[in-house]
Amino acid sequence: MATANKRFVLASRPSGEPTAQNFRLEEVPLPALNDGEVLVRHHYLSLDPYMRGRMNEGKSYAQPQPLDAVMIGGTVGEVVESRAPEYKAGDKVVGMGGWQQYAVVAAQQPGALRKIDTSRVPISAYLGAVGMPGVTAWYGLNKIIEPKEGETIVVSAASGAVGGVVGQLAKAKGCRAVGIAGGADKCSHVVRDLGFDACIDYKRLDGVSAIASALKESCPDGIDGYFENVGGPILDAVMQNANAFSRIALCGMISGYNGAPIPMAAPQLILTNRMKVQGFIVSEHLPLWPQALAELGERVAKGTLKYRESVAQGIESAPEAFIGLLKGRNFGKQLVKLI
């Protein structure tokens, strides 16, 4: 049994782009368990764009990440010791254990830990397609965009953990799915492996008008639904091609995470096209998670929902992997393997 735990805490708040110096690696002894607690050894850590917003001190939908505390993050792993009747050693679990190798969890804390079945679904998928990113895709598409057969659905960051699921679920509903991604390899993956009808490589295009022209070519009947992960010029280009009564699910605005303003060029189009534009935070819709996870898990188990992972090795690699994620260096879901 291990006696020490390596963990990353937030050492300072970034000004602009985060750097490795914003994080501090610590090694601390593992505490003895109290009644009702379990010790979880993490197999994988999830890295996600929302973490960048939590590093800031300003007002947001959630409290800022505290300084000198373990960085927030989703984890999957195995119970190695238990003093709670609900769990036994060997149970595979998913939770929010943070950027560390081990976590002591109070078993009765609501939502802190959930058992998972790894016999049909790989354990890492519970941080991606069958985890928070997958549920995010499911909710934004089904509850905000509400796609109808024959409609055209566009998603930015289409090769990522959320975007890739959005397009596949839209295709399953009989829609045309068009992705936007950065780089020829990512676009090829989106079409070839994930089954999108088309994918636009925004890195090859210069400015809003060029992206809008590419969207018009790939979406000849206009855009009925848009799943937004980026903001900025890509959103402006989508707005130029939006149909009347189109719907936008605002999930992320990564173009502004480092503090840059995100102006909208033509907000009047929201009125002209009678559009619905709705932001959402998936953690505010927990009652729907079981329904979403059941569908996503079944699709992954059957091989009808595909995903890709970028895996960094070891807890020490977490900061650089996270910085790379914010710069689009990852391909699919970004994970850190901790065992």
Domain holding 142: CATH number?
3.40.50.720
What is residue 111's predicted lDDT score, i.e. its pLDDT?
Answer: 85
In a domain, 291, yes or no: no
Domain count across the chain: 2
Q: Are residues 278 and 139 in the same domain?
A: yes
Q: Are residues 83 and 173 in the same domain?
A: no
Q: Are residues 73 and 120 in the same domain?
A: yes
Span 85-136, pLDDT tens digits: 999 999 999 999 999 999 999 998 988 999 999 999 999 999 999 999 999 9
Span 208-218, pLDDT tens digits: 999 999 999 99
In a domain, 295, yes or no: no
pTM strictly above 0.75? yes
Q: Are residues 108 and 139 in the same domain?
A: no
In a domain, 43, yes or no: yes
Q: Are residues 207 and 327 in the same domain?
A: no
What range defines the domain where residue 320 resides? 4-127+307-337
N-to-C CA span, the chain:
14
Q: Are residues 322 and 279 in the same domain?
A: no
Q: Are residues 105 and 137 in the same domain?
A: no
pLDDT in tens, the chain (339 residues): 678 999 999 999 999 899 999 999 999 999 999 999 999 999 999 999 999 999 998 777 778 999 999 999 999 999 999 999 999 999 999 999 999 999 999 998 988 999 999 999 999 999 999 999 999 999 999 999 999 999 999 999 999 999 999 999 999 999 999 999 999 999 999 999 999 999 999 999 999 999 999 999 999 999 999 999 988 999 999 999 999 999 999 998 877 767 778 889 999 999 999 999 999 999 999 999 999 999 999 999 999 999 999 999 999 999 999 999 999 899 999 999 999
What is residue 257's predicted lDDT score, i.e. its pLDDT?
Answer: 67
In a domain, 115, yes or no: yes
Q: Are residues 140 and 256 in the same domain?
A: yes
In a domain, 288, yes or no: no
Q: Are residues 161 and 270 in the same domain?
A: yes
Domain endpoint, select from 237, 267, 283: 283
The tokens for 293 are: 């996870």
Q: Are residues 122 and 141 in the same domain?
A: no
Q: Which of 324, 329, 339, 279 is nearest to 51 (CA)?
A: 324
SS3 letters across the chain: CCCEEEEEEECCCCCCCCCHHHEEEEEEECCCCCCCEEEEEEEEEECCCHHHHHCCCCCCCCCCCCCCCECCCCEEEEEEEECCCCCCCCCEEEECCCCECEEEEECCCCCCEEECCCCCCCHHHHHCCCCHHHHHHHHHHHHHHCCCCCCEEEEECCCCCCHHHHHHHHHHCCCEEEEEECCHHHHHHHHHCCCCCEEEEHHHCCCHHHHHHHHHHHCCCCEEEEEECCCCHHHHHHHHCEEEEEEEEECCCHHHCCCCCCCCCCCHHHHHCCCEEEECCHHHHHHHHHHHHHHHHHHHHHCCCCCCEEEEECHHHHHHHHHHHHCCCCCCEEEEECC
In a domain, 299, yes or no: no
Virtual CA dihedral for 209, 214, 215, 217, nearest 10 degrees? Answer: 130
Q: Are residues 148 and 266 in the same domain?
A: yes
Q: Are residues 157 and 279 in the same domain?
A: yes
In a domain, 290, yes or no: no
In a domain, 250, yes or no: yes
